[in-house]
Structure 1
Amino acid sequence: MRRTYMDANATTPMLPEVFEAMRPYFLEQFGNASSIHQQGQAARAAVDHARESVARLLGCRSSEIVFTSGGTESDNLALFGTLSAGDHLVTSTIEHHAVLHAAEALEKRGVAVTYLPCTASGIIEPSTLEAALRPETKLVSIMLANNETGTIQPIAELARITKAHAKSTLFHTDAVQGAGKLPIDLAPSGALHDVDLLSIAGHKMYAPQGTGVLFVRRSVRLSPLFHGGTHERQRRAGTENLPGIVALGRAAELARGWLLDDGPAELTALRDRLEQGILRAVPESGVNGQGTDRTANTSNLYFDHVEAEALVIALDLKGLSVSGGSACQSGATEPSHVLTAMGLSPARARASVRFSLSRLSTAEDVDFALSLVPEAVARLRTLSPTWAASRILTTV
């Protein structure tokens, strides 16, 4: 059976070039980067090269790159590393749970938290942030691109407002779904020069799972989550994941080349072809977040009178892998917190499916999806009492 993967926002396949870059560091070049002998120094050189590669992708200094185990750790390090009792955190209702659950834990430690609402399109309006800032606001954390809808936030403007409020107020963005898909320039003269902290995850950009980065601007004082050695300039103790770091560095190089080579435009065309084909073929369907800037690969579609979980399973049995929302919430009984925050009814939120393409997706993959989705939706609707009721009403 043919299998087509359209769940890249959950994780991406590792690119062959990335695997080949990391392979020697499992066997032949296995040194500890903290050792002073030749094997250790070779490992240190590999880590330094990867750090420089990630820094070039983000437009920052290599000394501002902290390697972590992934996006969740990076988000937690950004929040727990800068906030303490009496501080005020501003975040949004549509953040990934790596931020939301961290915020809830911080509230129990005496940190005040304000959760900003979004518009029906999933945007955090700058005026909403401006109204929420307080004298004691220490950190603002707003994601760059949403993992469920792909909606891109006006991060440069939100960070500018934060710094206009107080230079000492820090701005963090969870860029897990943006890095490698969108241009990011954290340089002092770059578009995101007001961003102090930024999180990325390797497995969202064709590197292995269990790898990540937190960008920490050199002026920021960060308290570590882990205590032990002096690794990562005393910001993240623990022996470096040498193969994973090498892989992430290579993935950053490939992502930078893809961005410069007009890759996003080509992927957007594929995504739009998928969306338009589905909307033409399936009545009572639509795009969540339509009309806003979205990442090139992401389409979140609702199919009224269908349970997303049933549709995901039906498509999987036919060879198409998609998602009902965030992979971290798979199996959750509650509707998506992102979609309900955008104003969708619980029924429509439960009827929403995420299609997320990868850089390896092809026109043939899109055609395959278009051959399956309309039929699967139609079949499931025949089993839906709400669909039957709606047909009666339209014929009366």
Structure 2
Amino acid sequence: MSRTYLDWNATAPLRDEARSAMIAAMDAIGNPSSVHAEGRKALAIVERARVQIKAAFGVGSGDVVFTSGATEGAGLVLNAGGVVCAASEHDAVHAWCDAQLPVDSDGRVDVSAPDTSALQAANSETGILQNGFETIALCDAVQAFGKVPFAFEWSGAKAALISAHKIGGPKGIGAVVLQSGHEVPTLVKGGGQEQGRRSGTENVIGIAGFGAAAEAAQRDLDNGLWQEVQILRDALEARLADEAPDSIIVGQDASRLPNTSCIAVPGWKGETQVMQMDLAGYAISAGSACSSGKVKQSRVLKAMGFDDTTASSAIRVSIGPSTTRDEVMGFADAWLAQYRKFKARAA
């Protein structure tokens, strides 16, 4: 059976540009901290990627600090404590914060004290976009980077998180972006790599892939590929709304990422839908998760005011530039077939 991947917000397929850059970097045998020619060659790969990422993310005079991913990056920025966030934030940020910021029914967060707040640029589950990052302590730009126009320099944020595998780079590499002059307490101590902010020998291969992916992602955005993605996403939502009138498109009237649909049919468990679609050949994710045999409701949807039943009945469909109309409509066929069975059983 053929498979269709519709879970780009979880991780994007590896780009050819990233794969090629990583293969080339495998031949650089030196340690970037070594002063000999081999070390300088490895360091040049790291610094080239840093330049590529700064250009793609609009960093300007700020600094890019490589980490193992955005989760480690969140710990680096937030480990000193004293930062608040909303219950709709990603677990990597939410785990470090006091969840105090209110969320309205459209998924927008009310930030009253930006200097001590963390805020997502885009929610990974609903795709809802935020704004107002001036002087914000931390902007989680992981989902927004490469999908919508965003420049760190004009955002005004003190720090931001980005991750390679969300833009078609390798897993296990990310970065913290810091405003020039803004310092954070070191989380990983040792040899003083990454300007003393994150010790440990750099992941040269992963960094090379990250840089190449960032450059390619910016090119796709400039060329309008994500506008085409939005047309497909809107076509999917229009069909589901027409043929499943009791389905809820979360954040439909809000500004969202161009590729993300969060769909809920109250009473039809999200994890059940994920398994049904997996058997039909479609990879999607659920707004609710199963852990140790216990169903967890979506914290994001609960924060937006949805009831328990709806919060455990959501799925996320996230697509990308290589997704085709046939794939999207094929998913709609499979999902609607299961929807009709669910409605018949519930009748």
TM-score range, shorter chain: over 0.9
Question: What is the CA distance between 1:230 and its match in structure 2?
Answer: 1.6
Show the counterpart of 1:175. Answer: 141
Aligned runs of 1:226-237 on 2, under 5 Å? 226-237=188-199
CA distance, structure 1, for counterparts of residue 90 and residue 290 of structure 2: 9
Count of matched residue positions in the alignment of Structure 1 and Structure 2: 347
Query: Deviations along 1:179-199, whole A, 9 cap, x unmatched?
Result: 111212122xx2x1x211000
1:289 aligns with 2:289: no
Q: Structure 1 residue 331: deviation in Å?
A: 6.9
Quote how far apart the aligned CAs of 1:327 are. Answer: 7.5
1:366 aligns with 2:346: no
Identity over the aligned pairs, expressed in percent?
Answer: 34
Deviation at 1:283, TM superposition (A): 3.0
1:320 is matched with: 282
> Are 2:149 and 1:150 aligned?
no
Maintained 8 Å contact 2:287/2:313: no
1:181 alignment partner AA? K
Q: What is the identity, as a one-letter code, of the residue corresponding to 1:333?
A: V
Structure 1 position 139, deviation (Å): 2.3
Which residue of the partner structure matches residue 92 of structure 2?
98
Instruction: Give per-residue Cα distances to partners, 1:326-372, cap 9 Å, x unaligned.
Output: 78979762200000111111111111110000222111211211221
Q: TM-score, normalised by structure 2?
A: 0.95
Normalising to structure 1: TM-score of the pair?
0.84
1:325 to partner: Cα distance = 2.5
1:312, 1:322 within 8 Å by CA — same for their partners in 2?
yes
Q: Distance in 1 between matches of 2:206 and 2:292?
A: 26
Match of 1:120 in 2: 105
Matched position secondary structure for 2:263? strand
Alignment of 1:292-307 (within 5 A): 292-307=254-269
Amino acid at match of 2:205: P
1:1-396 matches, within 5 Å, as 1-26=1-26, 28-61=27-60, 64-80=63-79, 83-84=80-81, 88-103=82-97, 113=98, 115-125=100-110, 129-130=111-112, 133=113, 139-154=116-131, 157=132, 159-160=133-134, 163=135, 171-187=137-153, 190=154, 192=155, 194-325=156-287, 333-383=295-345, 387-388=346-347
User: Offset of 1:239 from its aligned partner?
Assistant: 0.3
CA distance in 2 between partners of 1:335 and 1:304 (Å):
12
Do 2:15 and 2:168's aligned partners in 1 also have CA atoms closer than 8 Å?
yes
The question of whether the paired residues in 2 share the 8 Å contact of 1:199 and 1:214 is answered with: yes
**Whole-angstrom CA distance in 1 between matches of 2:7 and 2:140:** 19
Structure 2 alignment gaps of length 5 or more: none
User: Partner amino acid for 2:130?
Assistant: Q
Question: Aligned partner of 1:348: which letter?
Answer: T
CA distance in 1, matches of 2:174, 2:289: 17
More helix by share: 1
Q: Which amino acid aligns with 1:199?
A: L
Unaligned runs of 5+ in 1: 104-112, 164-169, 389-396
Pairwise CA distance, 1:264? 1.9
Label 1:174 to 1:326 Cα distance change in 2 as closer, same or farther (>3 A).
farther
| Secondary structure at the counterpart of residue 198 of structure 1 | strand
Residues 255 and 33 from structure 1, CA distance in 2 versus in 1: closer, same or farther, beyond 3 angstroms? same
Q: 1:329–1:13: structure 2 CA closer, same or farther, 3 Å change rule?
A: farther
Conserved 8 A contact 1:122-1:289: yes
Whichever residue aligns with residue 148 of structure 2, its letter is L
Q: Which has the larger radius of gyration?
A: 1
Q: Distance in 2 between matches of 1:30 and 1:326?
A: 44
Given the superposition, is the C-alpha separation of residues 238 and 96 from structure 1 closer, same or farther in structure 2, using an over 3 Å criterion? same
Query: Is contact 1:306–1:381 with CA below 8 Å preserved after alignment?
Result: no
**Distance change >3 Å, CA 328–CA 241, structure 1 → 2:** farther
